[in-house]
Amino acid sequence: MAAASDAYAPPRLLTLILQRKTLAVGLLILAVVTLLAVLAPLVAPYSPSKLSIVNRLKPPGAEWFFGTDEFGRDIFSRTIYAGQLSLLVGAAATAFACVVGIALGIVAGFFRKADALVSRVVDAMMAFPDILLAIALVAALGPSLATVIVALGIVYAPRLARIVRASTLVIRELPYVEAARALGVPTWRIMTRHVLRNLVSPILVQATFIFAYAMLAEAGLSFLGVGVSPEIPTWGTMIASGRQYVGQADWMTVFPGIAIVLTVLSLQLVGDGLRDLLDPRLRKDL
Amino acid sequence: MVRFVLQRFLGMLSVMFVVVTIVFVIVRVAPGDPAAVMLGPDATPADIEALRTRLGIDRPLVMQYVFFLGQLLRGDLGQSIFLDMPVASALLDRAEPTFFLTLFSILIAAGIALPVGIMAAYRRGTFFDQSVTTLTMLAASIPSFWLGLILIQVFAVRLGWFPVAGYGGPDASLMTRLSHLVLPAVALGVVSSALITRFTRASMLDVLNDDYVRTARSKGMSEFRVVLRHAFKNALIPVLTVIGLTAALLISGAVVTETVFSLPGVGNLVVSAVLRRDYPVIQGALLVIAAIYVLINFGIDMLYLMIDPRVRY
């Protein structure tokens, strides 16, 4: 028995990732997109705001990989730079949703008195379609980068709250939590050290999907002109400005759109792969 | 059963009450004076004061809330500032394109998702199944407004098969108006089909290995009959749930898609209201759309009672 347990070596993280095609492909695409965005000043051949009226609406070619826009700006450079902001908004909105959602979920799951109120609010918040609620919140708070992040964070927080609450309800009844309580461990410590630590997997999986949805929603808000300022290049604002040139300069909408699809797809693949990796019931290597 | 219906109905009412409260709060958290924001920088203090009185925002917050609830109970959603008409009438005027767009999109989504999802589950693990899984993930990653623009580029501008935008004008025939909905409905339907396909596949997988399916096969029943009459019928509940919820979510997709195709629907009305800071319209649209979502949820629960004899509360 001892020999058998000695012989067992847990698979390394890289092996676990490579065993899952979806996770590996998703992480690879996401890494490429993120690296391009972070290294934009080194990778982009032109400045994203460099105007060149003589070169306006040039089709894709050797000089301008993705063509140029109505002001002669290089679409390839703008797509790479826009990735910085689109990824930043998605990540920040996800972080905001995580903080609010986890706090609400764990409080609702732990304290029965708070549960009724929090659950009602969460149910009601989820009755609003994502983008409509985000539009209303941005309209109320005033359009800016910060309000878009806060609005999307508020929109997606209930999804996390619901999952955290459901898992907390189960974990709080487990013997080790009861033991901790009997030992006089303070409630906040039980919540953070004993409950929250066991929620990392479902939170991580859900956060990946929220990241994907937030990026789609941000693009939608920017496209409608109710998100970040149209002068700031995000994939959504780029598609919005290309809308007037449909049929004349299709590349203006095609390339930023492909960037959104690839990034969102990579996040969905990562989310799916993580769920497979972290959910013991789905693990094939245990 | 009556108790269950009553319980669900009361639950729905309590969620609606919180929805109303959230909408009230959202509109009131706007920084600054909403009347001044709505009227712009050229407004005189007298104009601002008159609008404050008209909107009822010169009263204390609690009074505003009570007034707001009273108004809603009378079916009054307020008055649009810029359209100078009741919000309810403005929403009703724009309901037709949104209704048909949502209806066609859900028909397209279900038309794609049900056969593909059933087939993928039936041929589990094959190349077809894997392709479906990949394609559904891809479809769920496409922003519907971007797909709409691509469809315009190909089918409206290049091939000229469908109109580029609009709804055909007020005197257009029903067929002309409906032809304007083909591309937006395809854009929304394709994106929405992803979720329904995944649910159909998953719930079919749950039932395909059940005893009654094996029994049906052993009785010599044709595969077509086994899959559709026996397996699919039992996999229907989660599928119906997701179709219902997708219908509600499509209203949200319509907000952006209507803008791409310049359809004069509710979505377009909301976007214009946001750009013009027409708070009563934003408030009314939020309430009506959330109410539709809550009602669809309630409807799905009631449907369970009718289609599944196992559901007895």
Contacts (Cβ under 8 Å, ≥6 apart) of B149: A239, A242, A243, A246, A253, A257, B260
Token pair of A5 as six digits = 């347990």
Mean pLDDT along residues B75-79: 87
Which residues in chain B (130-159) have CB-CB distances under 8 A to chain A? 137-138, 140-143, 145-146, 149-150, 152-153, 157-158
Chain B segment 24-63 residues within 8 A of A by beta carbon are 26-27, 29-31
Assess whether pLDDT exceeds 90 at residue B11: no
Whether the predicted pLDDT of B309 surpasses 70: no
**CB–CB contact A246 B149 (8 Å):** yes
Is the complex ipTM higher than 0.90? no
- Tokens linked to A254: 């095609």
Distance from CA of B293 to the nearest CA of A (A): 6
pLDDT score at A143 = 82
Q: What percent of chain B has pLDDT over 90?
A: 29
Could you say which of A120, A257, A264 has the minimum Cβ distance to residue B15? A120
Q: Quick check: B55 and B64 in contact, CB under 8 A? A: no
Q: What is the pTM of this model?
A: 0.87
Q: Which of A76, A70, A43 is nearest to A54 (CA)?
A: A70
Architecture of domain A20-48+66-280: Orthogonal Bundle (1.10)
pLDDT at res. A283: 52
pLDDT of residue A281: 59
Per-residue pLDDT at B213: 84
pLDDT at B269 over 60: yes
Q: Going by C-beta distance under 8 Å and a sequence separation of 6 or more, which residues neighbour residue B279?
A: A139, B27, B30, B34, B38, B55, B81, B273
Contact A141, A150 (CB under 8 A): yes
Domain-wise residue ranges, chain A: 20-48+66-280
* Phi and psi, residue A68, nearest 5°: -125, 165
The confidence score (pLDDT) of residue A2 equals 46
Query: Which two tokens mark B122?
Result: 């039936």
The minimum CA-CA distance between B222 and chain A, rounded to whole Å, is 33
Residue A10 pLDDT: 67
Mean pLDDT by 10 residues, chain A (286 residues): 56 79 91 94 87 84 86 92 93 96 92 87 87 88 89 94 90 88 88 86 90 92 86 90 88 94 94 81 50
SS3 A1: coil
Radius of gyration for the alpha carbons in chain B, expressed in angstroms and rounded = 24
Q: Is B222 helix (H, G, I), strand (E, B) or coil?
A: coil
Q: Mutation test of the interface with chain B: which of A20, A117, A121, A128, choosing the one with the most B Cβ atoms within 10 A?
A: A128
Return the residue in A210, A213, A224, A238 with the most chain B beta carbons within 10 A, the one to mutate for interface testing: A224
Q: Could you report the per-residue pLDDT of B186-197, keeping only the tens digit for each?
A: 999 999 999 899
Of the candidates A38, A40, A148, A135, which has an alpha carbon nearest to the alpha carbon of residue A94?
Answer: A148
The 3-state secondary structure of A83-124, one letter per residue: HHHHHHHHHHHHHHHHHHHHHHHHHHHHCHHHHHHHHHHHHH
For residue B310, what pLDDT band results from cuts at 50, 70 and 90?
Answer: low
